Structure 1
Amino acid sequence: MADRPEDEDTNHSNKDEEEEEEENSNYREPIVDGRDIKFETRILNEFLVCSLCMGYIKDAHTIVECLHTFCKSCITKYLRDKTDCPTCEVALGPYPLDKIKFDRQIHNIVCKIFPQFEAEDAEEERKYYSSVGLKTDPPPAPAPAPANNNGKPDANKQPYKKVKKEDKSVFYTDEVGFELNVDEKNTNPELRPLDKPFIRTSAKVTVKHLKKYILNKLHIDLEKAPQVEIRYRGEVLGSEHTLAYIFKSRGTDPSTKNPNFKYSMPS
């Protein structure tokens, strides 16, 4: 006699519980050895796997409206026919490709954990160009060693290399670091301190993105983003202001180590 529907549901539930227990039993705690940490990469799959191709994210690009990240090739191909996020279905307007930006942090994390990806990509690129009859540019030749007093190269000296002087102005760099803290005058119990208040991100990020980031981290409905107020040096910031513009126009407080933004929301 065939199982009744409720029996089938029970069987599926028991099977899922068994799989979850087996997965938990195979979990290994990260091992900390000085400055090195050894861990199973599968614990990061939730954050580093592209939901479109189900592989590790390559050339990470993030949708600025909802902060979901995908491979560049995957999300650009998806947005040829769609105008919403494939994860949360938030609308991206008539020009969805304008709403995706290169995510340097996710890209760097993937490259550090999986350094072989860069070599594999270079090899695939070389094979592709070879298949169509084109040659890739050879790597640049090393600079000659400095000559000694006899006019001959001195193997013991390293070649002189010009280093471009860095501009230390916070608003001219690609990335900026700052803190996001709850305003002392905040009366809304939903807004709590962030677990990690120090943020490092692109200087092109706007105040609107910061509001959504805060709500997303605190698991608050993103529809409340317009109600959030963010202050910098006592001034309420406009939603469209970028971090680069804010630091350039308001400067930084020399008495603090990191620029400090305060957020609040009415009860």
Structure 2
Amino acid sequence: MTSHRKHLVRDFNHFITCYVCKGYLIKPTTVTECLHTFCKSCIVQHFEDSNDCPKCGIQVHETNPLEMLRLDNTLEEVIFKLVPGLREKEQQQEVEFWRRNKSKENPDEDGPICKKARVDEEDDDKGDGDYHRSDPQIAICLDCLRNNGQMGENIVKGLMKKFIRCSTRVTVGTIKKFLSLKLKLPSSYEVGV
């Protein structure tokens, strides 16, 4: 006989609350130097006054600590699944914020209110269709480092663009497949990345 153990949300609060504001993590953002996670707004605001992690005190970056932050969309989805109504509450607060501040900045512009609603409607319809779209992005330079008497240099020059922009979650295998397809390489040709 198997027993099912029930867990309450409060059992996970230590993992899903912000050290700075003590509320649930909203737009969880991880400091890559120490892997501590905070609300995006809390950590960005903290870095206006200090370059140190608010939890462990490690210096995150000498001049620009914001470079060392990464959004954690997976954790955000887990939190929204664990805490009923949190997503809706946050969306409503964001709409109200933009409504209050719209008239101050540019009264003729709708701001992100309409755009936000449309994006969320699309996400609900498509599911995980654009899974990596909101990830932090990187630019990768495609350059041939060696030309061992093979056709490498000529083929790489055949690319229309030297840089590609992709999710930080992209794998080397995906980049290899992309290059093979883009360059129309025979299957016997091995791409090294």
Q: Please classify the TM superposition score into its range, dividing by the shorter chain length.
A: 0.5 to 0.7
Structure 2 match to 1:78: 46
Pair 124,203 (structure 1): closer, same or farther in 2 beyond 3 Å: closer
Structure 2 match to 1:43: 11
Structure 1 match to 2:154: none
Determine the C-alpha separation between the residues in 2 that align with 1:109 and 1:83. 29
- Aligned counterparts, 1:238-253, within 5 A: 244=170, 246-248=172-174
Determine the C-alpha separation between the residues in 2 that align with 1:203 and 1:51. 26
Please, which runs of 5 or more residues in structure 1 have no aligned partner? 1-30, 141-161, 168-172, 176-200, 205-241, 252-267
More helix per residue: 2
How far apart are 1:87 and its partner, in Å? Answer: 1.4
Structure 1 match to 2:22: 54
Q: Is the 8 A contact 1:174 1:203 kept in 2?
A: no
User: RMSD of the TM alignment (CA)?
Assistant: 3.5
Structure 2 match to 1:128: 97
**Identity, % of aligned pairs?**
26
Structure 2 match to 1:137: 114
Q: TM-score scaled to structure 2, two decimals? A: 0.53
Structure 1 match to 2:132: 174
Task: Decide which structure has the larger Cα Rg and report it.
Answer: 1
Give, as a single letter, the amino acid of the residue that structure 2 aligns with 1:116: G
- Aligned counterparts, 1:178-257, within 5 A: 244=170, 246-248=172-174
Cα deviations by residue, 1:222-252 (Å, 9 ceiling, x for unpaired): xxxxxxxxxxxxxxxxxxxx7635324667x
**What is the DSSP-based 3-state SS (H/G/I as helix, E as strand, rest coil) of the residue aligned with 1:61?**
strand
Please, which runs of 5 or more residues in structure 2 have no aligned partner? 119-124, 139-167, 178-193
Determine the C-alpha separation between the residues in 1 that align with 2:136 and 2:49. 28
Determine the C-alpha separation between the residues in 1 that align with 2:24 and 2:73. 15
Q: Is the 8 A contact 1:62 1:70 kept in 2?
A: yes
More strand per residue: 1
Structure 2 match to 1:69: 37
Structure 2 match to 1:98: 67
Give, as a single letter, the amino acid of the residue that structure 1 aligns with 2:76: H
